[in-house]
Amino acid sequence: MALWMECTHQGCEVNAQPHYLVCPCHGSEFDANGNVVQGPAETNLKTFKVNTDYENIFIYL
């Protein structure tokens, strides 16, 4: 699974931490699967299906 790294609160780019993602603008936190852990965001990050042929990574938009 790939994540769109844009906060669903107001569109700031989220930053990766060792075990979670955080929005530097208003403090929303998301788990590694993009689920909201702490607001103000109320919607999970957008996810995309991923596949590989062991040479390439395909992200299905």
State how beta strands 47-52 and 2-3 pair: antiparallel
Q: Identify the pLDDT of residue 36.
A: 98
Please report, for the domain that includes residue 50, its CATH number: 2.102.10.10
C-alpha distances (whole Å) from 44 to each of 23, 29, 31, 51, 57 are: 12, 10, 9, 21, 23
Give the structural domain span for 6.
2-60
pLDDT digits (tens, 9 = 90+) for 1-57: 999 999 999 999 999 999 999 999 999 999 999 999 999 999 999 999 999 998 999
Q: How many domains does the chain have?
A: 1
Chain CA centroid to CA 36, Å:
9
